[in-house]
Structure 1
């Protein structure tokens, strides 16, 4: 779902940059208010884990692959505003370092996968738990629905942006994007549901926030690096957006605005392709972790850092 440069017109990409900048600034203020100093490594671990998990494409029907987006999981663990910050860190590193998603389209990508995904996931979770919170199936159902809806709504927003940019008719691109990502969203929902259930078991007090309750943030970072080790096993099939672009004939419109330092998640100069991909995953996870921690620390009020 990472939109490359060349797919969006300036009249679509620039307003989305404005919306993303405004919402991102508000999210940073909320993070500075809501999180404590000791929460910063946890935010970094979630960001690093999502980056590594996004490298693991899985096959979907019709020679198409998908990958975990992770917005719903971040939202359920950290809240919607911190999730927006997490996804921003992931997408910025992907675009600047790995040439995954365009720079002009970066505002749209953060909006689709980060902002819209987090708000949709939060609304779905709160609605289901508010209506059926006393029932044992409500929490896992809410987690599944949050993951599925965040994926599908992000895909539909992407399709609408492509249509508004004149790249493909809305009556073709919207069903194509929605149909493929409805399948991908099922996997996203199942992963989100399983991860939330697993982390709930680790907590002795299930009703307390997950932030600050993970056993060891260092162990979480090690798990993120472990996911990066599996990256060479990822499916090589085109992802949902790439498949739609190929089927509707606008794939050639993609442009590279600024070459990435490590394009396609392969470290240059490493003769072994698997090792080159693993090292790229390690580097990306470390960069995302550091960026997320830095943003949380920099946004803490001085009195909070002294406590």
Structure 2
């Protein structure tokens, strides 16, 4: 049971009354590699986002006052976003080799991130992995290796799904300069670009750039010299409650950039720990 000092105000999905207790786990953020907090319950993965009160308010909880006036938002996260950077590191791809196939238990083995083992027990983990991996099956085991073509197909489908649902979500519509003065072509491109940026917020820079290079926005490029569309902010980069308090502020990269980098204006990750550092074996 939580003490008064441990209580927090959380907003999350409705779960059955007899659902198992949620567990909070420390995992590398799929976009930055920073250690971040996530929640696992009933075989599903959730991200935690904190809306900071900046110390300006408190909560009354029962007969107590909770000084932390922040709100914690818990939302369902597609685990494939988490799997992509893990699998990319684990396959050990080189210029001479497509990399290695790994069993489920080996993919999520880490001395520094022991909570990774919980990912192997999520609902439909093998199905998720199959959607982005080459799969080898033997009589009693399945092994997986990340397949770049499958990953790109899956990511583009994610963008498409967001595009199709965009106009039904007011918060997304409000995130772009969606005005009657815009041409239909510009509005369509703005919706696709915003959907692309939202998906990319859950990806490492390398994959965000590859995904951006799959898209062209000729009408928005024409508009760029006259106005700047207020696209979706970097809210996705705050997912998982980044635990690295020393993280440097995001800085816009300077030219020379690729087309994909210019589209996404990705942040400079210098000074951040690479994802591979979290999977290295401890030395004695």
TM-score (normalizing by structure 1):
0.28
Larger radius of gyration: 2
TM-score (norm 2): 0.29
